[in-house]
Structure 1
Amino acid sequence: MGRTRTNPLQPLEKPCIALGLEGSANKLGAGVIQHSPDGSSVVLSNIRHTYITPPGEGFQPRDTALHHRQWAMNVIGQAMKAAKVGFADLDCICFTKGPGMGAPLQSVVIVARTLSLMYGKPLVGVNHCVGHIEMGREITGAQNPVVLYVSGGNTQVIAYSRQCYRIFGETLDIAVGNCLDRFARVINLSNDPSPGYNIEQEAKRGKRLVSLPYATKGMDVSLSGILTSVEAYTLDKKFRPQSQEGTTTSEENIITPQDLCFSLQETVFAMLVEITERAMAHIGSKEVLIVGGVGCNERLQEMMGIMAKERGGAVFATDERFCIDNGIMIAQAGLLAYRMGYRTPLSKTSCTQRFRTDEVHVAWRA
C-alpha cells in the first residue's frame, strides 16, 4: 500500500490519521488509516461486525440500528487497539453521511458526534459510494478507471471528470445486491456470511441456463423484472428445491436452485459488463475498477476480465476486506477531504438516505 499520489493534495509535514465509521446497512465497521509525508498510506486497522438474520429474512432498519448501537464501542475499541493509537492521535473522525438506511446511519453518526465532542476532533461526513471508489483506487492502484459500483443498495457505472464522479448508467429500480439477496430469501439460503456469497456458491453447481429477461436500457439496467421471472421458476412443476441425486427423474426435466442461481448471475452480470464496456468506449479507458459488496463475486470479476482483455485493458478489484462495507473506506475518503480543508460542522452532521455519488466535490483529484 505504499504508492506515490498524483493528486493536488498538499504535502504533509507529519503523519495524518483518521478514524472511519461505517454503518449504512447491516455491516458496522471501524477503521484507522494513516497518510504519511512520503505520500504513502497505511491501513492500521479494519474491524467489522455484521448483523445476520435467519434464513428467509432480511434485515430491518430498527433491528439493524439496535445492532449498531450495541456493537459500536466494541468495534471501535478493537479498531483503535489494533491500530495502536489513541483518540488523541487522531486528526479527524469520519462517518458515513449517506446513502443508506436511515436508522442505522443515525446510530453511527450519534457515536461519531459523541467522540468528536469528547476528544475535540473535527468531523468529516463521507459519501458511502465515494468511500468505495477511493478505497478501491488506493488498494489496486487504478489511475483513471471506469468504476462499476455494485452493492446491496447501489448499482452504478461511474467515471471521473472535472472533480466529480459522473454517473454514466445505473439501475432503474433495485440494486444488483438487493436482487441477489431477495432471491436468496426465496430459496431459503443462509444469510451467513451473506446471501450474495451463498448465491455465488450455489451458482457454481448450476448446470442449466434458463431464460430470463435481458433488460439493458441504453446505459441503464432494470432488475426487478428479472427477479420476478426467476422467482416464477420456483413455482414451475419442473423445479426441485432439493438435490435429485439418487432419483430416476430425467435431468432435462429438472430445474434446481443451483440452476436458477447460475442463470440469475450470468444474465445480470452480462448486463453489467455490457454497460461498463460502453462507458469504457465512451471515455477511452482501458481500466475497470469493481467496488461494492457484489464486487467480491469471482464470476463477475471473471466476466469483466474477459471483456477488458478483449479491449486490451485490465480489471482491478479487491477482496472482501475492502469490497464489503467497511470503516477504512470511510476513513480514506474522509481523510482525503480533510486534507483539502473540508470539515463537517456539528450542525450539519445529519444523515441522508439519498446522497448521489455525483453530488460530491472530489477536490483531491486533479
Structure 2
Amino acid sequence: MTIVIGFEGSANKIGVGIVKDGVVLSNPRRTYITPPGQGFLPSDTAKHHRGCVLEVLQEALEEAKLTPQDIDCISYTKGPGMGAPLVSVAIVARTVAQLWNKPLLGVNHCIGHIEMGRLITGAENPTVLYVSGGNTQVIAYSERRYRIFGETIDIAVGNCLDRFARVLKISNDPSPGYNIEQMAKRGKKFVELPYTVKGMDVSFSGILSYIEDAAHRLLSAGDYSPEDLCFSLQETLFSMLVEITERAMAHCGSQEVLIVGGVGCNVRLQEMMEAMCKERGARLFATDERFCIDNGAMIAQAGWEMFRSGQVTTLEQSWITQRLKKNFFMKML
C-alpha cells in the first residue's frame, strides 16, 4: 500500500490531491479568477496560491481521513508552467516533505494529465490528445518514452480560446473556455476562418489574429453574433485537432484516443473526436472537469508511478522549470 500526496499549482489553479494505489482519496482545489477581459499575472497568481495552499492541504487530509504519518511520499509539479506559481507551490511541498520527513518527487505536469486520464478511464495504450491553456500535443507511448507526434508551433488551443474571450469580454468564471463552449451552443452562422494544419503540427496564432480583427467588423455590422463567432472558432480549432489525432492514430496503428488537459472536458471536442473514432472502429476515452482541469490528484498519481519505480527527488534537485519537456518527451521527426 502506497499513499502519495500531490501539489499542483502551475497556472491559476492550486490543488492538493491524495492517491492510494490507484484510488483518488481527495482532490480539492481553488481557482484564481480575474475580471472579464483580463488574464492572470504570474505574481498575482502566486499570491493567490500562497494564500490558500495550507487550507487546501488541510482539506485534502480531512477529506481522505488521513494524517501526515499516513503519507508515504510528497509530489509536486516541477514544470512546465508559470514560474512564480510553480515556485510558490514547490516551496510548500519541499517544506512539508522536510517537516513530515517524507521523500519528495518532482513531477512533469504533462505526464500527470496523461497518467490521471489513463487511471480514470482505463485506457491501455492510447493516442493522447493533450489540450490545455499552455499545451497542445498529440502524444503516444513508444519504446519506454512518451513521444510527441504533433503539437502547436505557436500558442496552445486553450490560450487561443482564452485570448478570444478577452476580446468579447467574456467572464472568467468558472473559466473563459467553458463560457465560450456554452455560447457556441447558441451559434447558428458559421464564419469561415483560416485552417492551419502543417503536417502533424497546428498553428493557432493566425486564426486568433484573423477572428480578433473580424470580430469588431462583423459585430459592428450586425451580421453575426458573439455566439456565432464562438461557434465558428470552436469548430475550426477542434477540426484541426481531430485531423492530427487521426493521422497519429494511423501512424501508430492505435485504436484508442485519450483526451486530457483542461480543454479536454469540452463536450463539443469530445463529440467530434467520438465521430472520428466511430468511423475508424476505435474507442474514445475522456473525463469531466474533475480530472481534466489541473488538479493535485494527477500529480499524486504520476508521483505514485514514479515512487513505485524507485525514483526520488533530492532537495538539491527540487527546483522548478517553466519548460520541463525534453527529459520526458521526444519529438518524432
TM-score computed with the length of structure 2 as normaliser? 0.98
- 1:126 corresponds to: 107
Letter in 2 for 1:289: L
The residue correspondences of 1:1-366 to structure 2 (distance < 5 A) are 15-35=1-21, 41-236=22-217, 238-240=218-220, 254-356=223-325, 359-360=327-328
Retained in 2: the 8 A contact 1:31–1:328?
Answer: yes
Unmatched 5+ stretches in structure 1: 1-14, 36-40, 241-248
Q: Deviations over 1:136-177 (max 9, x none)?
A: 000000010000000000000000001111000000000000
Letter in 1 for 2:89: V
Retained in 2: the 8 A contact 1:135–1:333?
Answer: yes
Retained in 1: the 8 A contact 2:127–2:249?
Answer: yes
C-alpha distance in structure 1 between counterparts of 2:216 and 2:286, whole Å = 37
Q: Deviations over 1:39-86 (max 9, x none)?
A: xx2110000100000000000000000000001100010001000011
C-alpha distance in structure 1 between counterparts of 2:270 and 2:150, whole Å = 19
Letter in 2 for 1:359: N
Q: Deviations over 1:182-205 (max 9, x none)?
A: 000100000000000000000001
Retained in 1: the 8 A contact 2:148–2:329?
Answer: no
Retained in 2: the 8 A contact 1:163–1:361?
Answer: no
Q: Secondary structure at the match of 2:14?
A: strand
Q: Deviations over 1:305-346 (max 9, x none)?
A: 000000000110001000000000000000110010000000
Letter in 1 for 2:119: E
Q: Secondary structure at the match of 1:235?
A: helix
Unmatched 5+ stretches in structure 2: none
C-alpha distance in structure 1 between counterparts of 2:76 and 2:329, whole Å = 17
Letter in 2 for 1:260: L
Moved over 3 A (4+): none
Q: Secondary structure at the match of 2:189?
A: coil
> Offset of 1:352 from its aligned partner?
0.2
Q: Secondary structure at the match of 2:115?
A: helix
Q: Identity of paired residues, percent?
A: 66
Larger radius of gyration: 1
Q: Deviations over 1:17-53 (max 9, x none)?
A: 0000000000000000001xxxxx2110000100000
> Offset of 1:231 from its aligned partner?
0.6
Aligned-pair RMSD on alpha carbons? 1.2
Letter in 1 for 2:44: D
> Offset of 1:353 from its aligned partner?
0.3
